[in-house]
């Protein structure tokens, strides 16, 4: 009735293949869990690291270049736009999404007074506004239909946005292109 208890070496020598397979799976599972645990800490740490990268801000003298399309990266010249036309631009070499600019030509003329520029980031929830103006000549956000009147300093005229799009002073640069003449007059996006 009393059988001797086998020693550990006897068990491992005579252990069925199934027991060895279970041990191997258990070891692999522990290794995987350890890796997943480490990854769970590494991903947020990397996300925080990317937030700390310095981003180039809009500055006076930056030439505005087309943000998209066939002419992406090329300077915007006053003659490129007709009255009532909007286009999206970046300051040359500064394509951070918070630097996206909605440039609108309001009138005839080759001076900076014929144009207005605003942040292209909606002040409601931070969506990017449409480059094209709607039929009423307003800048429209496709996310929640906020509308901003470029003739009235991008004041909201419809939708949930309660704050105007931040304005950006512009000038005609030395090369004849449209350029930045200062910083945004309010915080970009949701404030």
pTM over 0.85: no
pLDDT at 39: 74
Of 25-29, 57-61, 167-171, the range with the highest mean pLDDT is: 167-171
Identify the CA nearest to 152 among candidates 162, 167, 130, 141: 167
151 within 8 A of 139, measured Cβ to Cβ = no
Is the confidence at residue 181, as pLDDT, over 70?
A: yes
Exposed, middle or buried, 16 (CB in 10 Å: 0-12/13-18/19+)?
A: exposed
Kindly state the average pLDDT of the residues 74-81.
Answer: 96
Average pLDDT, the chain: 88
More confident site: 97 or 1: 97
More confident site: 1 or 75: 75
pLDDT at 47: 67
Quick one: what percent of the chain has pLDDT higher than 70? 85
Alpha helices (H) along the chain: 8-14, 17-51
Kindly state the average pLDDT of the residues 151-163.
Answer: 96
Q: pLDDT-based confidence at 8, cuts 50/70/90?
A: low
In this structure, what token pair is assigned to residue 125? 């929830």
100 within 8 A of 90, measured Cβ to Cβ = yes
Kindly state the average pLDDT of the residues 104-122.
Answer: 95
More confident site: 10 or 87: 87
- Phi, psi at 60, each rounded to 5°: -55, 135
């Amino acid at each position: 009735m009393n059988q001797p208890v086998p020693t550990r070496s006897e068990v491992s020598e005579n252990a069925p293949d199934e027991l060895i397979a279970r041990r191997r799976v258990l070891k692999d599972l522990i290794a995987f869990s350890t890796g997943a645990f480490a990854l769970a800490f590494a991903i947020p740490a990397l996300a925080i690291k990317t937030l700390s990268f310095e981003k180039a801000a809009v500055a006076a003298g930056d030439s505005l270049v087309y943000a998209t399309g066939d002419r992406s990266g090329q300077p915007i010249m006053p003659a490129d736009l007709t009255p009532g036309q909007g286009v999206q631009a970046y300051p040359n070499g500064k394509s951070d999404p918070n630097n996206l600019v909605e440039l609108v030509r309001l009138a005839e003329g080759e001076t900076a007074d014929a144009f207005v520029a605003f942040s292209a980031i909606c002040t409601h929830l931070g969506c990017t506004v449409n480059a094209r103006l709607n039929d009423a000549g307003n800048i429209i956000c496709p996310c929640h239909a906020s509308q901003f009147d470029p003739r009235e300093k991008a004041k909201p005229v419809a939708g949930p946005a309660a704050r105007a799009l931040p304005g950006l002073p512009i000038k005609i640069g030395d090369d004849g292109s449209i350029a930045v003449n200062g910083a945004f007059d309010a915080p970009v996006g949701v404030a």
